[in-house]
Amino acid sequence: MIPDKAPGEDVYQATCDLRKEAHVPSFEKYKELYLKSVENPEEFWGDVAKDFFWKSKHTGQFLDYNFDVTKGKVYIKCMEGAITNICYNVLDRNVHDKKMGDKVAFFWEGNEPGDELKVTYRELLKQVCKMANVLKSLGVKKGDRISIYMPMVVELVVAMLACARIGAVHSIVFAGFSAESLCERILDSQCSLLITADGFYRGDKLINLKMIADDALEKCTEKNFSVQKCIMLKHLSKDGSLLPEGSQSPPAKRACSDLQVPWNPEVDLCWHTLMEEASDECEPEWCQSEDPLFILYTSGSTGKPKGVLHTVSGYMLYTASTFKYVFDHQPDDVYWCTADIGWITGHSYITYGPLANGATSVLFEGLPTYPDVSRMWEIVDKYQVTKFYTAPTAIRLLMKYGSGPVQKFTRRSLKVLGTVGEPINPEAWLWYYNVVGEKRCPVVDTFWQTETGGHVLTPLPAATPMKPGSAAFPFFGVVPAILNESGEELEGPNEGYLVFKQPWPGVMRTVYGNHERFETTYFKKFPGYYVTGDGCRRDKDGYLWITGRIDDMLNVSGHLLSTAEVESALVEHEAVAEAAVVSHPHPVKGESLYCFITLKDGFDYTISLEAQLKKQVREKIGAIATPDYMQNAPGLPKTRSGKIMRRVLRKIARNERDLGDVSTLADCTVIEQLFQNRCNTA
Ligand code: PRX
């Protein structure tokens, strides 16, 4: 499956300097390690595990699993019998065993230039212990679910690791999500406590986070579920330093007179007061390997988000080793991942993977365009960032402004560049490689999912010759295959469904509270395989190219959305009888939402109605789901059995007249009308 020899033509290679220090310096070495990882996982992962602390060792086989629904329940167990704590491994082990207490864990860079903070491993450990004690004092126990809804501040990392320390299960909700989305997630995992902040700025825009959080809690109460306590961090409204050693993020320098902080004394607690009183020592709760670590919601094709569940040991080993090898982590690196911790990229590659390796990271609160489009490169120079990880959408956005803003800064420290979240088009890849990295930094195009826990297809920077736009080859322990519609494995150059044949330590274990949905979504279509939902092409050299989602999901700026969840937000409006949402290509966001709206009798399609519908989607889901295009659709193309033909709608949205086979259409006349009402998408 992996070629014996890497191709030497039409590829980009790492420099000799990078190879000299690399963990995996050649393609041959990658291949050797890869073979070991799939032929002898016990030995391969056993070597990785040696670097961690285990209260007791595992007893059974390293990985025990069933991927075949026809043979019984699907399960994955890694290192059964082992006992450990992930927080202990990413903090105490670094501070005490590795003597790295004074090493910087995070350089926090606020939204406003000049807002900054440095946190060492020792300080982080203290803060985490304090928060862990706070949670315990509030009655939180192992296995309890805690919802976290916070901006990109160090305290977000503190909150998540405090949960991990006491065996509580964190469920982080991206702070860009709406009250409704937060409520839905709190209800699904029955979270007893919410941790949030007063508010934050995203560029120029003030987000009154506590108000949204309160709204969510009210919605929960209406649905007969009460969150017992809400801890609120004062991020913008801080009234002086309550904690010692400057170990909390400083007040934002920006004036925030519009900040509104509702306060309910029966539920609300102040982060700072609680922390002041708490002890900074806390014995970790020792966990079983397969104890749950966190739940993270991702869009599901039925419209209801799925609570992806990850467990302790496998996730720890997998995020640690992917971080080490994919970014070729070295002790003096300064690493920066621009993702938000509210997404899986932040969980795995801001918190757990980097900290497990004792890395120094930049934690950035702001936007790539604020206060100007040089901000990223300014930060790279400021902290001498060596490894940089971002999304194709950010690259395409900055590319629009040309090389000038990039070249205002030297970026001399950069060694490896990474991308994640969606397919990267070769133009964007080449701009990233040529302009940002000045042809000196390999680009690792990492394909993975919330469900996979960590990278599954990716080049290794010094080992894999790169092809712009290809995620190249599998990471250690991962065995991909391409299947045709009948479920047959396709060899050689081919295209089809991307699946995986066996588990790796970091793969999800279940959909929280709904194992049947887990089996149906990932294992029923092709029994024996984990089905990613993505299409994939293999070229003549064995390189894998992700071709995009092949289900009813869209990828907007690297964020997955299901057409069903946007449709259900639209039809909740009193004027809407039916809605159909399809993907439309977008030069920066990759994909955008194009919505067809059928109104109920008696309602008129107006600009003001469109604005109301957009607002409704924003309020129900969040700003990322705001439709780009919306058109009046007095009729929708349907089959005789009443199914909407989205394939046809996609073509109409793109103004492509070649509709393919439409013989199953119940009423052809709607088509011409839809073409006439098309939005101008040029
Ligand atoms: O379609 C693939 C796309 O993002 C999906 C996973 O989204 P999510 O669970 O939100 O996680 C995103 C961050 C890991 C995938 O099914 N995707 C992610 N990375 C890539 C990608 N598509 C192509 N190339 C990538 N490098």
Q: SS in 3 state form for 6-31?
A: CCCCCCECCCHHHHHHCCCCCHHHHH
Query: Which of 448, 537, 551, 553 to mutate to test ligand 1, by most ligand atoms within 8 A of the CB atom?
Result: 448
For the segment 91-119, the average pLDDT, to the nearest whole number, is 97
Q: What is the dihedral of CA 232, 233, 235, 237, to 10 degrees?
A: 60
For the segment 613-641, the average pLDDT, to the nearest whole number, is 93
**pLDDT at site 1:** 76
For residue 516, report the distance from its CA to the centre of ligand 1, in Å. 23
Residue of 552 and 170 predicted with greater confidence: 170
Helices first, then strands: H and E counts in the chain: 21, 30
**pLDDT at site 243:** 35
What distance in Å separates the CA atoms of residue 162 and residue 414, rounded to the nearest whole number? 32
Give start and end residues of each alpha helix (H) in 445-524.
515-522
308 ligand 1 Cβ < 6 A: no
pLDDT category of residue 662 using cuts at 50, 70 and 90: confident
For residue 420, report the distance from its CA to the centre of ligand 1, in Å. 7
Instruction: Classify burial at 304, counting beta carbons within 10 Å of its beta carbon; exposed 0-12, middle 13-18, buried 19 or more.
Output: middle
In the predicted model, is pLDDT for residue 589 greater than 60?
A: yes
Transcribe 165-193 into DSSP letters: HTT-EEEE--TTB-HHHHHHHHHHHT-SE
Transcribe 116-168 into DSSP letters: EEEEEHHHHHHHHHHHHHHHHHTT--TT-EEEEE--SSHHHHHHHHHHHHTT-
For residue 596, report the distance from its CA to the centre of ligand 1, in Å. 26
For residue 506, report the distance from its CA to the centre of ligand 1, in Å. 16
**pLDDT at site 251:** 53
pLDDT in tens, 299-320: 888 888 999 999 999 999 999 9
Share above pLDDT 90 across residues of the chain, in percent, rounded to a whole number: 88
**pLDDT at site 220:** 98
What distance in Å separates the CA atoms of residue 84 and residue 82, rounded to the nearest whole number? 7
Instruction: Classify burial at 50, counting beta carbons within 10 Å of its beta carbon; exposed 0-12, middle 13-18, buried 19 or more.
Output: exposed
In the predicted model, is pLDDT for residue 242 greater than 70?
A: no
pLDDT in tens, 513-569: 999 999 999 999 999 999 999 999 999 999 999 998 888 889 999 999 999 899 989
- The upper half-sphere exposure of residue 259, i.e. CA atoms within 13 Å in the direction of its Cβ, equals 19
- Report the nearest-CA residue for atom 6 of ligand 1: 449
**pLDDT at site 665:** 84
**pLDDT at site 287:** 98
Question: 230: closest CA among 323, 135, 316?
Answer: 135
Q: What does the DSSP 8-state code read for residue 675?
A: H
196 ligand 1 Cβ < 6 A: no
pLDDT in tens, 118-169: 999 999 999 999 999 999 999 999 999 999 999 999 999 999 999 999 999 9
For residue 351, report the distance from its CA to the centre of ligand 1, in Å. 19
In the predicted model, is pLDDT for residue 377 greater than 80?
A: yes
What distance in Å separates the CA atoms of residue 262 and residue 339, rounded to the nearest whole number? 29
544 ligand 1 Cβ < 6 A: no
* Exposed e or buried b per residue across 413-450, where buried means at least 16 C-beta atoms within 10 angstroms of its C-beta: ebbbbbbbbbbbbeebbbbbbebbbeeebbbbbbbbbb
Question: 153: closest CA among 206, 197, 191?
Answer: 197
613 ligand 1 Cβ < 6 A: no
C-beta of residue 535 within 8 angstroms of C-beta of residue 498: yes
**pLDDT at site 278:** 98
In the predicted model, is pLDDT for residue 180 greater than 50?
A: yes
Give me the chain's average pLDDT, please: 94
**pLDDT at site 676:** 93
In the predicted model, is pLDDT for residue 475 greater than 80?
A: yes
453 ligand 1 Cβ < 6 A: no
For residue 181, report the distance from its CA to the centre of ligand 1, in Å. 21
The number of beta carbons lying within 10 Å of the beta carbon of residue 343 is 22
Q: What does the DSSP 8-state code read for residue 490?
A: P
**pLDDT at site 252:** 55
**pLDDT at site 314:** 98
pLDDT in tens, 634-646: 999 988 778 888 8
For residue 450, report the distance from its CA to the centre of ligand 1, in Å. 8
C-beta of residue 634 within 8 angstroms of C-beta of residue 673: yes
pLDDT in tens, 494-512: 999 999 999 999 999 999 9
344 ligand 1 Cβ < 6 A: yes
- The upper half-sphere exposure of residue 312, i.e. CA atoms within 13 Å in the direction of its Cβ, equals 34
109 ligand 1 Cβ < 6 A: no
**pLDDT at site 240:** 39
Share above pLDDT 70 across residues of the chain, in percent, rounded to a whole number: 97
What distance in Å separates the CA atoms of residue 631 and residue 596, rounded to the nearest whole number? 5
3-class SS at 254? coil
450 ligand 1 Cβ < 6 A: yes
pLDDT in tens, 407-453: 999 999 999 999 999 999 999 999 999 999 999 999 999 999 999 99
- The upper half-sphere exposure of residue 300, i.e. CA atoms within 13 Å in the direction of its Cβ, equals 18
In the predicted model, is pLDDT for residue 261 greater than 80?
A: yes
For the segment 581-588, the average pLDDT, to the nearest whole number, is 94
- Report the nearest-CA residue for atom 5 of ligand 1: 449
For residue 446, report the distance from its CA to the centre of ligand 1, in Å. 8
pLDDT in tens, 3-36: 888 887 789 999 888 999 999 999 999 999 999 9
Q: In the block, which residue shows the tokens 């073409």? A: 675
Sequence-distant (≥ 6) Cβ neighbours of residue 585 within 8 angstroms: 591, 592, 654
423 ligand 1 Cβ < 6 A: yes
pTM: 0.93
Amino acid symbol at 245:
E
In the predicted model, is pLDDT for residue 71 greater than 60?
A: yes
Element (H, E) at 615: helix 607-620
